[in-house]
Amino acid sequence: MIEPRLLARLERKKDQLDRLRPLPAAAVRRLEEQVTVEWIYNSNAIEGNTLTLKETRLILETGLTIGGRSLREHFEVINHKEAIEYVEALVAGDEPVTPFHVRQIHRLVLARIDDENAGQYRTLPVQIMGTAHRPPEAWQVPALMQDWGDWLTGPAQALHPLERAALAHHRLVSVHPFIDGNGRTARLVMNLLLMRDGYPPTIILRANRGQYYRVLAQADAGNVSPLLNMVGRALERSLALYLAACTPQSGPTDPQDEWILLRTAAEDTPYSQEYLSLLARKGRLEAIKRGRVWYTTRRAVAAYRQSVREQKKETSP
């Protein structure tokens, strides 16, 4: 279900990161500050928060309010930071993640915004705008959340950490256990599970909001592969970020490993820029997205070409 090339890259980069441990404290501190701001900004923006990345950083660093922005939007930033701190505390522990922890995360997400419902399962029916998925009735939520916890501590333990985290996230948003704040809570839980397994937190970018909702809808219909691969590509981005910040440099970057535009990477290959873009979106080609522009490396293109040749050999009579 996870694109094999993507899975192989994730495991290779995870192994590279593990071999660098203990990671340099100063680099990790700077990286965590950057990742936390991006995590909060993007997760809130997916749900409609209008604060910019710069404004989000300003609120976190100074506590100042931004003119023209609602008090709720400010609380969404502060609350998300407190929820991340709680998640980090859980990562350091070893007790199983349960519905109780989900409710505690949600309580922090909705604090001072809706204290009556913060940390409480919904007692009313809900509809998710723009999707055909109909969440279960409110009276079913407690039992379904117990089922979620039993699945997570039982059958889910046999899954790859990426698959377990992504599916736990989808199952949560599918139950829609709370009146509000389900998406933020589910993405926090997803990162809690990934971080427990030694991965860095993954960030679903605001720019990919439409795609994110599409893959969730596909998962609702039973096709979870697009969701797994989207989360996998986001995780690869995080791994690349940590490796770049924590790998000692003994010399200039090999030209084969420099990030270049897809149109440059397509030169002297049988592929067009558009085809490389398709491969990147599907996770078949190692690539990163900066803003709305994809970048890859010559080594990544060569690796993809080699994988194609090997596939042809395996399938030839």
Q: In this predicted model, what pLDDT tens digit does every residue of 231-262 receive, in sequence order?
A: 999 999 999 999 999 998 888 888 999 999 99
Instruction: Report the CATH number that the domain containing residue 34 is assigned in CATH.
Output: 1.10.3290.10
Q: How far apart are CA 301 and CA 62, in angstroms?
A: 44
Q: In this structure, are 126 and 154 located in the same domain?
A: yes
176 is catalytic: yes
Looking at residue 250, its pLDDT comes to 81
Q: How many whole angstroms separate alpha carbon 103 and alpha carbon 119?
A: 5
Query: Which residue, 204, 223, 246, sits at the end of a domain?
Result: 246
In sequence order, the β-bridge partners of residue 289 are 294
Q: Say what the pLDDT of residue 317 is.
A: 66
Low-confidence ranges of the chain (pLDDT < 70): 316-317
Q: How many domains does the structure of the chain reveal?
A: 2
* Domain match, 23 and 155 both: yes
Whether residues 84 and 168 share a domain: the answer is: yes
Q: What integer pLDDT is reported at residue 291 of this predicted model?
A: 77
Of 74, 80, 170, 176, the catalytic one is 176
283 and 236 within one domain: no
Alpha carbons 239 and 14: distance in angstroms, whole number:
7
Q: What is the largest CA-CA distance in the chain?
A: 69
Same domain, 34 and 138: yes
- Give the dihedral of Cα atoms 148, 154, 160, 164; nearest 10 deg: 10
Residue at a domain's end among 185, 212, 246: 246
Same-domain check for residues 20 and 129: yes
Mean per-residue pLDDT of the chain: 94
Q: What is the pLDDT of residue 88?
A: 97
Same domain membership, residue 120 and residue 209: yes
In angstroms, rounded to a whole number, what is the distance separating the alpha carbons of residues 236 and 64?
34
One domain for residues 39 and 62:
yes
Q: State whether 311 and 169 are in the same domain.
A: no
* Per-residue confidence (pLDDT) for residue 181, from 0 to 100: 97
Which residue segment(s) compose the domain that 291 sits in?
255-315
Contact (Cβ atoms closer than 8 angstroms) between residue 196 and residue 164: no
pLDDT score at 313: 78
Q: Which residues pair with 296 in a beta bridge?
A: 260, 287
Tokens 């509809």 belong to residue:
127
Query: What pLDDT, in 10s, does the model give residues 7-37?
Result: 999 999 999 999 999 999 999 999 999 999 9
Is there a single domain that holds both residue 288 and residue 241? Answer: no
Q: Are β-strands 260-261 and 293-296 bridged in parallel, bridged antiparallel, or unpaired?
A: antiparallel
Q: What is the pLDDT of residue 132?
A: 78
- State the Cα–Cα distance between residues 125 and 142, nearest whole angstrom: 14
Which domain-ending residue is among 210, 229, 246? 246
- How far apart, in whole angstroms, are the C-alpha atoms of residue 300 and residue 306? 10
Helix axes 71-92, 99-110, angle to 10 degrees: 150
Are residues 109 and 190 both part of a single domain? Answer: yes
- Residue 80 exposed, middle or buried by CB count within 10 Å (0-12, 13-18, 19+): buried
Query: Which pLDDT score, from 0 to 100, does residue 39 have?
Result: 97
Looking at the fold, whether 242 and 259 belong to one and the same domain comes out as no
